[in-house]
Amino acid sequence: MASPGGRLEFRDVARGAALTEALAARVTSLGRAPVSVMHVCGSHEQAIAKFGLRAAFPPELRVIMGPGCPVCVTDVPEVDEAVALARQGVRVATYGDMLRVPGTAGSLADERGRGARIDVVYGAAQAVELARGGEPVVFFASGFETTAVATAAVLLADPPASFSVLSAHKYIPPVMEIVAEMPGSAIEGFLAAGHAATITGWGVFERFVERHRLPVVVAGFEPLDILAGLVRLVEVIASGEPRVDNAFPRCVTREGNPAAQAALWRVFELQGGRWRGIAHVPNGNLRLRDEFAAWDARRRYAIDVAALWDHAPAALVAQCQCGDIMAGIASPHDCALFGRDCTPDAPVGACMVSAEGTCKIWHQYGGHPDLREIRRRA
Amino acid sequence: MQRLVGMCLGVPGRIVSIDGDIALVDFWGVVKPVRIDVVDAPVAPGDYVLNHVGFAIRRISPEDVADTLALYDELLRRAGAGDLMAADVRSEIDAAGSHDG
């Protein structure tokens, strides 16, 4: 299968080779295998798969994608709320990736097929523009804290009364605690997403390191940035003194972006909630504060989700491994549906729907992001 | 084509002019409005900023501009039509300018 990515090369081959060697040497000097680390960023996985980086990692190192796909972790009842609103005749605007995420009784795309008014927008601001016509518009908002900043900013800029938000926004730091504490978890450290930390600052991970004694290294998403971040992460693991380390200083500071944080926390507060396939995550959801109740779709509409719940899930859905894949326990190759009954054109689970989902990424970049897999499976 | 919601990539662009909370930003020759009310530092025309879903979130310091632009240049010029990373970047450019009416 030809790579849809076309040719894309390391910008500095010599440095790539040096970092690859350094990574192998650091992992070997740990003297044990496997060494498992996790990243929580769809773009990290895209870059790792696209550039075939796993083939350059030492065989003892396992780099696993965790819950880094906001669309994928949007829980079924949250999708149900949007579907129920659409069925009730309310106009819903959302990001394109959200359209095909399955709820209990189908997706927003299914509702659109039945005539519901569903708009795909690029961002919160565009949804506000739709509402300026006077017709009520609910923005079904997903994304991590970085994307929630944009939702917060439009709510702070005097949106029309016809606009409201159904927030499925999620906050990453608490879910790292859940994944770190999962029974049988062998994760020894986290690679944190560079541009997300642009907003939160790397200081946001200090409490996690203190509580869980696991290192966090902030890394960019270019192949060299990822390799450099992994070298640093393995060095910190070897030191036995967990800390937060910033391997992406050209973008990330300890404090982050104070203006964005101020907007985020003025509008949102943390609430516990389920992440699809993972667990109840205390403080994992971003919900609108009371002050913004007038723009909170959950408080403005009586959303009748129970009406959807007499539908049994389809048989294929029961076999979907998306939850275990997002928790880092399984890989797409452990799923019997992957690439056969579940493809980007006919996705069964959310991980195959979103461009940031592990399954879609592995499928898109050839299905074998680790060249060694081909040898093992041949 | 799928649209992004996550953000690890964002997209860099150069500020052409500023009017209140809105800046006109040049993305590889395409000029679009971007909100600058949550950017991390004061910005002026000529500055490069990193943008996500139509908002500037970081001023890119002049010495980092070339490094930052290089990957995006490569992604946009050399990636095939189905490429997920290039699609993310194009979606971010589309997201800018989605709030000018």
pLDDT score for A10 = 64
Average pLDDT, whole number, for chain B? 84
Q: Is residue B40 less than 8 Å (CB to CB) from chain A?
A: yes
**pLDDT tens sequence across A126-180:** 999 999 999 999 999 999 999 999 999 999 999 999 999 999 999 999 999 999 9
Q: Among partner residues B8, B64, B98, which is closest to A42 by beta-carbon distance?
A: B8
pLDDT score for B56 = 94
Does pLDDT of B4 surpass 70? no
Summarize the confidence of residues A235-246 as an average pLDDT: 96
Residue B6: list chain A partners with CB under 8 A: 41-43, 68-71, 143-144, 146-147, 356
Q: Is residue B77 less than 8 Å (CB to CB) from chain A?
A: no
Give the pLDDT band (50/70/90) at residue B90.
Answer: confident
- Looking at per-residue pLDDT, the higher value among A244 and A319 belongs to A244
pLDDT score for A366 = 74
Summarize the confidence of residues A231-238 as an average pLDDT: 97
Q: A5, B88: Cβ pair inside 8 Å? A: no
Chain A's closest residue to B85, CA to CA, is A46
Residue B35: list chain A partners with CB under 8 A: 125, 153
Q: Among partner residues A98, A129, A196, which is closest to B99 by beta-carbon distance?
A: A129
- Looking at per-residue pLDDT, the higher value among A100 and B44 belongs to B44
Q: Report how many Cβ contacts below 8 Å link chain A to chain B.
A: 177
Q: Is residue B64 less than 8 Å (CB to CB) from chain A?
A: yes
Q: B57, A260: Cβ pair inside 8 Å? A: yes
Q: A257, B38: Cβ pair inside 8 Å? A: yes
Q: Among partner residues B9, B52, B85, which is closest to A150 by beta-carbon distance?
A: B52
A107-116, A312-321, B27-36, B60-69, range with the lowest pLDDT:
A312-321
Give the pLDDT band (50/70/90) at residue A378.
Answer: low
pLDDT score for B5 = 46
Q: B75, A11: Cβ pair inside 8 Å? A: no
Q: A195, B35: Cβ pair inside 8 Å? A: no
Does pLDDT of A291 surpass 90? yes
Summarize the confidence of residues A181-210 as an average pLDDT: 91
Give the pLDDT band (50/70/90) at residue A5.
Answer: very low
Q: Which residues contact A125 (CB under 8 A, 6 or more apart)?
A: A150, A153, A154, B35, B53, B54, B98, B99
pLDDT score for A60 = 94
Q: Is A185 exposed, middle or buried (0-12, 13-18, 19+ CB in 10 A)?
A: middle
Q: B8, A98: Cβ pair inside 8 Å? A: no
Give the pLDDT band (50/70/90) at residue A312.
Answer: low
Q: B8, A8: Cβ pair inside 8 Å? A: no
Domains of chain B: 11-95 (2.30.30.140)
A99-113, A304-318, A356-370, B56-70, range with the lowest pLDDT:
A304-318
Q: Which residues contact A171 (CB under 8 A, 6 or more apart)?
A: A144, A145, A148, A270, A283, A284, A285, A286
Chain A's closest residue to B34, CA to CA, is A125
Summarize the confidence of residues A25-45 as an average pLDDT: 93
Q: A355, B37: Cβ pair inside 8 Å? A: no
pLDDT score for A236 = 97
Average pLDDT, whole number, for chain A? 90
Summarize the confidence of residues A116-125 as an average pLDDT: 93
Summarize the confidence of residues A286-297 as an average pLDDT: 98
Q: Is residue A250 less than 8 Å (CB to CB) from chain B?
A: yes
Domains of chain A: 13-69+173-246 (3.40.50.11750), 71-172+257-308 (3.40.50.11740), 315-370 (no CATH)
Q: Is residue A133 less than 8 Å (CB to CB) from chain B?
A: no
Q: B54, A355: Cβ pair inside 8 Å? A: no
Q: What percent of chain A lies above the pLDDT cut of 70?
A: 93
